[in-house]
Structure 1
């Protein structure tokens, strides 16, 4: 199991842990990446002669603005470890072991899976659907507890059943 032991509470028993599979840009990410490329082309197309350096600076700024969040999200997701214990669901950093988000299973709504290919799917808690639904659920949450979403989980159906039993 991949879960660093320092993320578990004393006496807590680990039932399942795993890492996201097939980490790739999704939905809105592709638009951000395309926008970054278009931004660079337009910035260099407008720049000419003495303004080449200004155009390069504008192009670099736009490129970083569009691609930065996508690359950052993918980098964080690559380091993520998911865990289900006998009482909690955790999302932790796989390098440091610090929990980014955790919630007690009894406090969460029932898990919902969106299965993908080969049993890999996304697990959400509640009825948030897709990227926009997850974003809105996080933005309108009345508590300080983060919305937990397990992305690209191997054997998502089995993990959902395990959480439901816990």
Structure 2
């Protein structure tokens, strides 16, 4: 019985010791990504949504149709807006910048999007190139993870909007 107790104690100590060990520090495994995070301060992040001139597509995403417009996602950057009066010849007219976005949904005249960690609802006036934020719910989604699966601990005032 004493021998069994010693074996269990040694096994427990071995498991405890191995489980509490870290290699070079607690957060080092998180910084081993081949990608670098692109971050924004919370204040800049919340004021970053705007319409701009047409831009070159970098990471094509989903396509949405609304009225006479076509929206093509550009992952973590925004949406390209096409005038789609003639579906055989859509014309690129603008870009809506939404850092950290990967998807939108549209219901009636409200657009819903994930902007990195936040859920936003907004109205869009393409003719006047205006974006009106209707609602923002901070920290609805988890932090963006790098393409190779790492998380970057950037602090409370910083938001990861992309990985390069």
Higher-helix-fraction structure: 1
Higher-strand-fraction structure: 2
TM-score (norm 2): 0.23
> Larger radius of gyration, structure 1 or 2?
2
